[in-house]
Amino acid sequence: MEYFFSKDDEFKSKAPKRLALLVEKRTGILPTIVLTETVRYVCEKRGAEEASIRYLALIRSGLKVADLNGGIARDAGLLKCRHPNVPTGDCIVASVARANKAKILSDDKHFDEIKGTMRTWL
């Protein structure tokens, strides 16, 4: 969401470079829940057509799309049980990151509560 809608000038200048580096190195992972949330948010703010355009931009970006599978769903459910204040979608993101030994690119500090996750920001 920040990539598309940030009002922070520092983020706007750094985010495209960070994303390009993840694509170039083929290390960027995009959980399907992030696609869902992006489409929902853009649709609410700018309409369905713009949401479809943003979806295609993400799909074509070169990021690896990580599907929600049974193992990820189980791990996310257990995380949600242990961390009831963390949103379910973020538990899914954390589970994808843990399964892939990847860092989470986010400024949300609640990811720091979840053992086995690493968070980074620009």
Domain boundaries, the chain: 27-120
**Please, which pLDDT band fits residue 107 given cuts at 50, 70 and 90?**
confident
Read off the pLDDT of each residue in 95-112 and give the average, rounded to a whole number: 92
Instruction: Mention every residue, 6+ apart, whose C-beta is less than 8 A from residue 120.
Output: 103, 104, 105
**Residue pLDDT, tens place only, 11-50:** 666 777 787 888 888 889 999 999 999 999 999 999 999 9
- Give the whole-angstrom CA distance, residue 109 versus residue 74: 23
- Give the whole-angstrom CA distance, residue 103 versus residue 93: 10
Which residues, listed in sequence order, are joined to residue 18 by a DSSP beta bridge?
Answer: none
Look up the CATH number of domain 27-120. 3.40.50.1010
